Every structure is written in C-alpha cells, then in structure tokens.
Amino acid sequence: MERNLENGGDATKQPAPTLPPAVARAERRDQQFLDWLEEDEEIDHVARALADPARRFALELLVVGGAAAGDIAASISDTFGVSTARASQHLQMLARAGLVEVAVDGPWRWYALPRAPGRPLIDWLRRLERSY
C-alpha cells in the first residue's frame, strides 16, 4: 500500500516544538531528580546502618579513636545485651555502609571512622535544605 505524500503523508518532518524556558527548566530539574534517585542506594545503606541504636553506639565509641573489633563488640554486647556475634554483624553493616574503615592485621580487625562518614546522606540532606 502506497502513501499519498501530497495529502499529509510523512514526507516532511516538522521541527520539534521549542519548550518554554520554565518547562525546559522543570524538565532539567526532573532529570536531575532522577539522577539523584540512582544514587540513593548508597544513601539507603547509610540510613539503614544508622537506624539501629547499637550501630550508632559503635560509631560514638569510634569518635575518640580507632578500636579493635573485639573491644567494640564487647561494649555493644554489654550495653545492648546481644551476643558478640550479633555485635560483629553490626560492625560489618557499618563497614558495608562506608561508615567505618576496617584495617586487617592477621586475625585482628581495627575499626576507625573515615574522614567523612555518611557523606552521601549528608549531601542528600543538604539538597533538602531551603534558603529563605
């Protein structure tokens, strides 16, 4: 079946309409928002890690300096009444979220706070701030 190009066929394409500046800005903002959502997985890990008081306690212990995993786990265990194995799981979750650094020396694990713990979450919260 042939198309009749003389009577409104697809022979010529019309130029794409130009968006008003306000609409174009809104579309750029929406795209930026979608880009931020892709980064949210890292933020989710940090937020989940901070959701438990035992993990926040471990971070508070590390503010004064690094410590051996066994010492931190014992403090968590004594304070929160959990097993040392569960306390170790808390430490591992903090490490996966990037909230602590782990140095391994043979059988020993040394935990310390990184230079900017929780930076993705802090950056995200700053994006929510509004200037008045």
pLDDT greater at residue 118 or residue 10: 118
Q: Is the pTM of this model over 0.85?
A: no
Residues 81-110: tens digit of each pLDDT: 999 999 999 999 999 999 999 999 999 999
Residue range 71-76: mean pLDDT, rounded: 96
- 8 pLDDT exceeds 80? no
pLDDT at position 24, please? 63
Residue range 21-40: mean pLDDT, rounded: 66
User: CA nearest 78: which of 86, 43, 18, 62?
Assistant: 86
- 1 pLDDT exceeds 50? no
Amino acid at 14: Q
pLDDT at position 117, please? 80
pLDDT at position 102, please? 95
Rounded to 5°, the CA angle 34-37-42 comes to 155
